[in-house]
């Protein structure tokens, strides 16, 4: 049985800013873009969360909820440098580290003999080192698989540790709300609720056939997770599946023609980002993302080779027809072919 630790830095960007300026520690702060540029909140500290502020919230809305919110423009080079320090500590424990983002990762410590082979003690040691050497806090979850470890790391946030032992899995998962399962968003959650499914125990009472009929391939995943089963290994390489760019506009684009005029600049930026990949992988599809002025959004995709820019224009037209209203954000991207094993990209 595996021993997996999921480590998640608490409000990472905000934590780094509070570390560097202790005067920010007890006041609501958010890292994000300005109101003038119609920015959004990247993350915020816990005093700000008390006002209902959260990541991806428009900055203007965050300031309405908390007029005295301190807004800080992000410093990505600094955050990346701090993340490298944190990941170096992880790799002192095990080389089996799977980065999920700058601030979270899975660690497989199944074969690690340090700390008497106790994953719990390893997690405690990691959290203590990060606090002492980096000056921020990390919450950790310890469990026999990735699914449970990730849920556990969020259980006692911030600065918490939750351990799910093998003999506790059944009781823990049985009572687990289905909304805690990755992939169950608002729409899927409503569909599950309409079927009378609110916990994993409710999922267990449905047959695999019924779940697949309602949710397709995700139905099988729901069935497995409701029993606490997750055989995914920790992967030390990240396979890049897409490259994209997007732009939020200071003024809404009033219609489809205005969106079309913005498309060439977005495609040019996408091509520059793609060419910076080393080496550029094959392209197996294109996508266009549209966020309308009422904050609803849609993504339209084309599968297959992209010999020219024509698919983007067609996708834009199809996507705009779904909302037929002013647009605040446009994005374009490539779906990438799977790289050869020796060209997989790591986080750093």
Give pLDDT tens digits for 168-208: 999 999 999 999 998 888 889 999 999 999 999 999 999 99
269 annotated among ligand-binding-site residues: no
What band does 280 get if pLDDT is binned at 50, 70 and 90?
confident
User: What's the chain's average pLDDT?
Assistant: 92
Give the pLDDT confidence score for residue 281 in this predicted structure. Answer: 85
DSSP state of 166: G
- 70: pLDDT strictly greater than 60: yes
What band does 347 get if pLDDT is binned at 50, 70 and 90?
very low
Q: Which residues pair with 244 in a beta bridge?
A: 333
What band does 268 get if pLDDT is binned at 50, 70 and 90?
very high
Give the pLDDT confidence score for residue 339 in this predicted structure. Answer: 56
| Residues sharing a CB contact under 8 Å with residue 66, sequence separation 6 or more, in sequence order | 28, 48, 51, 53
Indicate the pairing of strand 104-108 with strand 97-101: antiparallel
Is the CATH code 3.40.50.300 the one for domain 1-164? no
What band does 338 get if pLDDT is binned at 50, 70 and 90?
confident
Burial of 141 (0-12, 13-18, 19+ CB in 10 A): buried
Give the pLDDT confidence score for residue 341 in this predicted structure. Answer: 46
103 annotated among ligand-binding-site residues: yes
Give the pLDDT confidence score for residue 348 in this predicted structure. Answer: 30
The residue extents of the domains of the chain are 1-164, 170-226, 242-343
| Residues sharing a CB contact under 8 Å with residue 13, sequence separation 6 or more, in sequence order | 31, 42, 43, 74, 79
What band does 279 get if pLDDT is binned at 50, 70 and 90?
confident
Assigned CATH topology for domain 170-226:
DNA polymerase; domain 1 (1.10.150)
- 39: pLDDT strictly greater than 90: no
Q: Provide the whole-model pTM.
A: 0.78
- 63: pLDDT strictly greater than 70: yes
Which residues are tagged catalytic? 104
284-307 residue pLDDT tens: 999 999 999 998 999 999 998 888
Are 284 and 336 in contact, with CB atoms under 8 Å apart? Answer: yes
May I ask the CATH class of domain 242-343?
Answer: alpha beta
């Amino acid at each position: 049985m595996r021993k997996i630790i999921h480590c998640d830095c608490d409000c990472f960007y905000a934590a780094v800013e509070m570390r560097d300026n202790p005067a920010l520690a007890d006041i609501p702060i958010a890292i994000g873009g300005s109101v003038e540029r119609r920015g959004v909140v990247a993350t915020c500290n816990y005093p700000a969360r008390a006002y209902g502020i959260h990541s991806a919230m428009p900055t203007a809305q965050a300031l309405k909820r908390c007029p005295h919110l301190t807004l800080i423009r992000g410093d990505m080079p600094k955050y990346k440098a701090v993340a490298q320090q944190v990941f170096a500590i992880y790799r002192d424990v095990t080389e089996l580290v799977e980065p999920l983002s700058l601030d979270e990762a899975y660690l497989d410590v199944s074969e690690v003999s340090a700390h008497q082979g106790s994953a719990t003690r390893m997690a405690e040691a990691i959290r203590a080192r990060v606090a002492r050497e980096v000056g921020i806090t990390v919450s950790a979850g310890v469990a026999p698989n990735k699914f449970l470890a990730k849920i556990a790391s969020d259980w006692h946030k911030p600065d918490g540790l939750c351990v799910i032992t093998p003999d506790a899995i059944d009781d823990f998962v049985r009572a687990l709300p289905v909304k805690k399962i990755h992939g169950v968003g608002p729409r899927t959650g409503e569909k599950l609720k309409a079927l009378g499914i609110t916990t994993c125990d409710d999922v267990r009472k449905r047959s695999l056939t019924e779940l697949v009929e309602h949710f397709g391939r995700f139905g099988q995943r729901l069935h497995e997770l409701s029993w606490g089963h997750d055989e995914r290994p920790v992967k030390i390489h990240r396979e890049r599946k897409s490259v994209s760019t997007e732009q939020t506009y200071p003024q809404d684009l009033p219609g489809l023609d205005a969106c079309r005029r913005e498309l060439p600049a977005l495609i040019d930026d996408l091509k520059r980002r793609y060419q910076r990949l080393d080496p550029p992988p094959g392209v197996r599809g294109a996508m266009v993302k549209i966020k309308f002025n009422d904050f609803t959004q849609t993504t339209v995709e084309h599968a297959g080779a992209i010999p020219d820019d024509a698919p983007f224009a067609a996708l834009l037209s199809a996507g705009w027809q779904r909302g037929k209203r002013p647009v605040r954000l446009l994005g374009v991207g490539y779906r990438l072919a799977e790289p050869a094993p020796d060209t997989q990209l790591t986080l750093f």
